[in-house]
Amino acid sequence: MMVMEKQILHTCLYKAKQAFKSGNIESARDFCDLGIAYIADKRLDGFESEDLIEDVKIDLWLERFWMFLEKKNLLL
């Protein structure tokens, strides 16, 4: 099992939430997209859906980003 230690995804999700709260919809969407793209890159590097990034399974990270986008009506 591979494990990543940087806090990139926590930061992306936090910044997306903050941007949305301050009315910056484009930035909120961009931070979610950045998080999803980061995960996609890790999957290309061989990470599996059950592997951990920042102590959270990849599947859960994807769910967090997609649910945020969906609940805030940010999907294009």
**Bridge partners (DSSP) listed for residue 3:** 52
Q: Is the pLDDT of residue 3 over 60?
A: no
Interval 19-28: pLDDT, tens: 999 999 999 9
- The token duo for 18 is 């903050």
For the chain, the average pLDDT equals: 93
Interval 45-71: pLDDT, tens: 999 999 999 999 999 999 999 999 999
* Residue that has been written with the tokens 């009506």 in this structure: 73
What is residue 2's predicted lDDT score, i.e. its pLDDT?
59
What are the φ and ψ backbone dihedral angles of 43, each rounded to 5 degrees?
-65, -40
Q: 55: helix, coil or strand? A: coil
Residue 8: how many other CB atoms lie within 10 Å = 15
